[in-house]
Chains A and B, each alone.
Chain A
Amino acid sequence: MKKFLIAILSMFFFVSTCWGQSADIKGIIRDTLNKNNMNGAVIMLLRASDSTLVTFTRSNEDGNFVMRQLTPGHFLMLVTYPDYADYEDEITLKDTSHINLGNISLTTRMRMLKEIIVRQSSPMRLKGDTLEYAADSFKVRPNANVEDLLKQLPGIQVNRKGEITAQGQQVQKILVDGEEFFSEDPTIATQNLRADMVEKVKVYDKKSDQAVFTGIDDGVKIKTIDLKLKEDKKKGYFGKVEGGTDFNKYYDNRGMISAFKGRRKIAVVGVMSNTGSGTLRVDEADNFSGAGGVGIELEEGMGLPQTADEGGGAGPGGIPVSWNGGAHYSNKWKDDQYYLNTNYRFGKTIVNPIGGTITQQNVQDGMFDSRQQSDATIQNERHVFNSNLVVATDSLSTLDIRLNTAISKASSQNTFSTNTLKNGIQVNNGSRITGNTADARDFQANMIWRRKFMKKGRSLLLYANIKTGDNKADGSLYAVNDFYNTSGTHLNADTTNQQKLNQNNGTLLTGKIIYTEPLWKNAFIMLSYGLALNNQESLRSTYDNLPGGKQVYVDSLSNNYTLRTITHRAGMYLNMAGKKTDYTIGGDVSRADYHQHNAVKDGVFDHQFINFFPKLNIRYRLNTYKDLTFSYTGITQQPSIQQLQPLKDNYDPLNIYIGNSLLKRAFNHTLNLSFKRFKVIKSSYFIADISYSTIQDAITSRNSIDTAGRSIIQPVNVNGNQSIMGSVNYGTASDKSHLGASIGTKFSLSRSVSFINDQLNNTNYFSPAVTLGVGWYNGDKSSLTLTSNINYNYSSSSVNPDLITKYWMQEYTALLSVTLFKQVYFNTEAYFSLRQKTSAFDKNNNVIKWNAYVTKTVLKGSMNLKLSVNDILDQNIGFSRLVGAGTITENNYNTLRRYWMLSVIWNFNTTGR
């Protein structure tokens, strides 16, 4: 009996092991165009991890194929037929999978007499880490620009301001043919370059130049879109000129001309507008971060003196009248050995913000309610010139030289009136007039020499940089304030009439050397050392204006100091790149010596900090389409000079800021885990990430309100700041049904510690949000996109636990574009925002902003007439709300209201002929 049982059992084992390997796949191969069944197509099964050929078969006369006796695993299925585009898909097999793929359509690669859009294996493909879209696979209107093309690409969204999001992450840089092209303002490229000039749109996370060169990932990721242009479109010139007016108040004129010839690109662009749209972003303060991404990460507060704009204090608002222009020249010579890229931009803006602010602050015994009205005129003018020369001195080394100059002038006049109550009783009120004019000049030159050696992985990088800047400001302050006691009786009045002169200049010299050496197979070590010398001088003189024209120097509000810092920074990183896993571990240590001399008070202040910046980064590549990354980063945040130096600042006599020389440095630990998965055939992506961060000795402001209702603000260290943030994004698109959908969720949970009126306050903040988007696009004929964003905010503060702030915010967007009849296009967008009321404010804060325009193409496509209406329901009220540690601030301000405009757009194009 026993023997019989064993026999039966072993038979089962035997049979089941046989059956264990009986996964199979079958399908039918067809031709997309003729719908014929294809005989003799090769179907291959490759191991997903390394493309090893496991088995193959051919389809029969009916197009049928079957592959049997397959072992479980992850595979790639590749179907080929002569003169047809490859078909690829991922397949996972389990022991008993019986997969029927149904009809698999192959598309011919043959050229036909009439030019039609030829699809390569897929309009979207993943090449390494770059997602590539074949531009011609996505139909757009004639004369459509790159922005119109980007809106069609699955996974990419463009919002009203022209900001681009790819796979749920914001795109920070747009390159043209791999090169910078007015890169400070991506909309110049996206709104002016024609869609038909683009061959491929590449989306990837750009690493810092240092990481690209040394091969060691330092964790820096800049989401970038690179527009690769078609070779035959790079000959000739193209551009557009647009003039719009409403025959009354508003105008919007802009133009761009470009001449591209092979490697040489010349472009000139100009805008003259008072509708507040499309301003070239010229006013980014000294952000010459393009310096190759290399450099000493200076601790905060040690950078160049800022462009003086003190005393402005005007919030958002106003409709800017702006004039902007720019020119670009870039070229490559001698077989790409020499590359030159130069840009000039200028911008002049005049804006007149008029608005009010309501601030509610919770304290232990009640609530402070402060209201302020302001009316300002601000004028800014800025000229920026930058150029970059790259020379490949020999096959192993390159020299990169950059020069940047910026000159700016600003002037502002501002009138304020304020009123503060505590629990309904008057505490203070007042008015103030400020004026300011400022002039700034900045210059920067840097040089990077990179050299690779014969031994693979060995490289040397030398970096030298000099930055100097100089700014002067002349401001005036006239303020009258009245103070009241606890029962509302008038106590005293205070008048301030002062002139403030500021002068700052600084020079920064940096040098860095980075050496990378291979240790053993796929392991590298990177050593770096950098030195930064900084010299800054700041002269602040405040004078009281007395009747009769005399001026008295105010010691307590003036200062004259010089700051000299020497920073040494050394780093060591070990990088191991395995077949599937990449590790980088290491860190930087720096020593900063501060020497500050206060000439007015004759004090010397010396500080020395030793800071650590550890880093750990692990990336696990499951296969070409999936990866998981874990990182730990430690950053020391040093207090800035403004925070340490005890100088009283009274620009706003009701909000006084003082420094704290005993501040410790803060240390930020951040842990991050992220997972990405792309499915190329299904055109879908999935990205999830979560990060946790905690700050030791965080620097925060201690805010005390004195009996007169004045706020005294001083920076202090606190412990206990933590936050968790996460997001999950999923998107997919179907070519057949022309539908795309995306869903995302974000949340953040944080605790921040601060002081309110000398009391320790813990604010807990929780904010989940869900975003949904659905798009339907029918090539160049019509498209509809709907998005919704629902956000819940909850915050509570320990100082006044009964006052919990919670509200919902919902935003909905609808974009519709339709071809009405021949050559007439209609486009409309509606933006609907619902803000839940909070108890203190009566205003109903629901807004619907609805814009529409109609364009008709005339003169054989070279000219467009456009009639547009902005804010049809006249609902754009300027409003913003901020919730912070026990405080709610609401701003309202003047904005552009409803207007219509008639524009004529002339497109010219000689490329591709």
Chain B
Amino acid sequence: MRYILLLLICLVTATAVAQSFISSGKIMFEKKINLTRIYQEKGLTEFMKNQPQSNTTYFELSFSSNKTLYKPGRAGDPPVAGTAAGNIVFTDFNTGFVYAKKEVFESTYLVADSIAKITWKITPDTRMIAGVNCRKAVGVIMDSLVIIAFYTDRIPVSGGPESFVGLPGMIMGLAIPKMHTTWYASSVQQIDEKDAAMIKIPAAGKTLTRKELLTTLQKTLHGGRDDEHNIWQILI
């Protein structure tokens, strides 16, 4: 008898969840950097033996039907390299603008610009992340950086972690192979639209556009591959 009841409940909840969209809520993300691979590429094989293999930090993304706010969540490992590791990003789909507060070396900048257009290729592959079914898409930014994203059409907001947007649903998983970094959602919570009003534009530092930030960085970082990586880390 108990089992039948359980089965019915499962069926009902399954049906309930299956048929509804999550239009506002909060997603917890886990950002992981594979340090071992980075040290291997730099040739620091000896050094890496005494270092941790990976670096994990946590973020949360609050979203409503037309806005998203991405910011650091609970404390994780101490940030590595210290550049732009704790961004706060506010994306407004109504106005088409994105505001990102980034700590770059010793300065704090507010990058205000229109939402970037990323060219995505849709693939038929899917996987489950945080209990929702996601589809894989592949994109390229900054001319050569390949990004792999998993988005779900269960959340009809075109947002995602950092500045990655533009897919027909929320990005729940993201991987940048060249940077050995991944972001994966660990949970999704539904929040009422009214409670989501806490989403606001963060406090300002020096305001720049993306292009201006790039120019500023290129003035100081024009070395080899390491600097290229640093630029990527800051601009994403």
Contact = CB atoms under 8 A, between A and B. Distances in A.
Interface of A: 40, 42, 44, 46, 50-53, 56, 58, 78, 80-83, 86, 110, 113
Given A82-B133, A83-B18, 17 more contacts: A42-B153, A50-B121, A51-B121, A51-B122, A51-B123, A53-B119, A53-B121, A53-B122, A53-B168, A58-B156, A80-B168, A82-B18, A82-B21, A82-B132, A82-B154, A83-B19, A110-B18
Contacts of B159: none
Interface string B110-134: 0000000001111110000000110
Given A80-B135, A81-B153, A42 B169 contact: yes
B235 to A, nearest CB: 22
25 contacts: A40-B21, A40-B156, A42-B168, A42-B169, A46-B121, A50-B121, A52-B119, A52-B121, A53-B137, A53-B167, A53-B168, A56-B168, A58-B168, A78-B122, A80-B135, A80-B153, A80-B168, A81-B153, A82-B152, A82-B153, A83-B18, A83-B133, A86-B124, A110-B14, A110-B15
Contacts of A51: 121-123
A50 B122 CA distance: 9
A735 B137 CA distance: 31
Interface string B1-35: 00000000001001100110100000000000000
A82 B134 CA distance: 9
Contacts of A44: 122, 168
Contacts of B18: 82-83, 110
A25 B11 CA distance: 37
Nearest to A52: B121
Contacts of B121: 46, 50-53
Interface string B153-179: 110100000000011110000000000
Nearest to B11: A113
A785 to B, nearest CB: 34
A767 B123 CA distance: 47
Contacts of A46: 121-122
A760 to B, nearest CB: 62
| 3 nearest A-B residue pairs (beta carbon) | A42-B168, A56-B168, A82-B154
Contacts of B122: 44, 46, 51, 53, 78
Contacts of A86: 124
A40 B168 CA distance: 11
Contacts of A56: 168
Contacts of B166: 53
Contacts of B137: 53
Nearest to B23: A40
Chain B, interface size: which category? Answer: 20 to 34
B127 to A, nearest CB: 14
Contacts of B119: 52-53
How would you classify the secondary structure of chain B's contact residues: helix, strand, loop or mixed?
mixed
A81 B20 CA distance: 11
B225 to A, nearest CB: 22
Contacts of B120: 52-53
A221 to B, nearest CB: 27
Contacts of B14: 110
A50 B120 CA distance: 10
B125 to A, nearest CB: 12
Nearest to B132: A82
Contacts of B167: 53
Contacts of A110: 14-15, 18
B153 to A, nearest CB: 5
A42 B123 CA distance: 15
Contacts of A53: 119-122, 137, 166-168
A42 B137 CA distance: 15
A44 B169 CA distance: 11
Contacts of B153: 42, 80-82
Nearest to A81: B153
Q: Max chain B CB contacts within 10 Å: which of A52, A53, A58?
A: A53
Contacts of B168: 42, 44, 53, 56, 58, 80
B171 to A, nearest CB: 13
Nearest to B153: A42
Contacts of B124: 86
Contacts of B132: 82
Nearest to B169: A42
A860 to B, nearest CB: 29
A58 B132 CA distance: 19
Nearest to B7: A113
Nearest to A43: B168
Contacts of B152: 82
Q: Max chain A CB contacts within 10 Å: which of B15, B123, B152, B168?
A: B168
A507 B121 CA distance: 58
Interface string B66-81: 0000000000000000
Contacts of A50: 121
Contacts of B11: 113
A40 B137 CA distance: 20
B22 to A, nearest CB: 10
B204 to A, nearest CB: 33
Nearest to B133: A82
B43 to A, nearest CB: 21
A42 B21 CA distance: 12
A126 to B, nearest CB: 12
A56 B169 CA distance: 10
A59 to B, nearest CB: 11
Contacts of B169: 42
Contacts of A42: 153, 156, 168-169
A53 B139 CA distance: 10
B8 to A, nearest CB: 10
B72 to A, nearest CB: 30
A38 to B, nearest CB: 10
B105 to A, nearest CB: 36
Nearest to B138: A51
A51 B124 CA distance: 10
A66 to B, nearest CB: 16
Contacts of B156: 40, 42, 58
A164 to B, nearest CB: 29
Nearest to A113: B11
A53 B15 CA distance: 31
Nearest to A39: B21
A541 B145 CA distance: 80
A50 B119 CA distance: 12
A82 B16 CA distance: 12
Contacts of A52: 119-121
A81 B132 CA distance: 12
A880 B27 CA distance: 77
Nearest to B139: A53
B143 to A, nearest CB: 16
A46 B167 CA distance: 12
B75 to A, nearest CB: 34
Nearest to A88: B124
A45 to B, nearest CB: 10
A40 B153 CA distance: 9
A152 B168 CA distance: 38
A58 B65 CA distance: 13
A80 B137 CA distance: 14
Nearest to A57: B168
A81 B122 CA distance: 15
B124 to A, nearest CB: 7
Contacts of A80: 135, 153, 168
A56 B154 CA distance: 15
A315 B190 CA distance: 81
A90 to B, nearest CB: 15
B54 to A, nearest CB: 28
B133 to A, nearest CB: 6
A46 B122 CA distance: 8
A192 to B, nearest CB: 35
A290 B191 CA distance: 64
Nearest to B119: A52
A218 B36 CA distance: 44
A52 B122 CA distance: 6
A56 B122 CA distance: 11
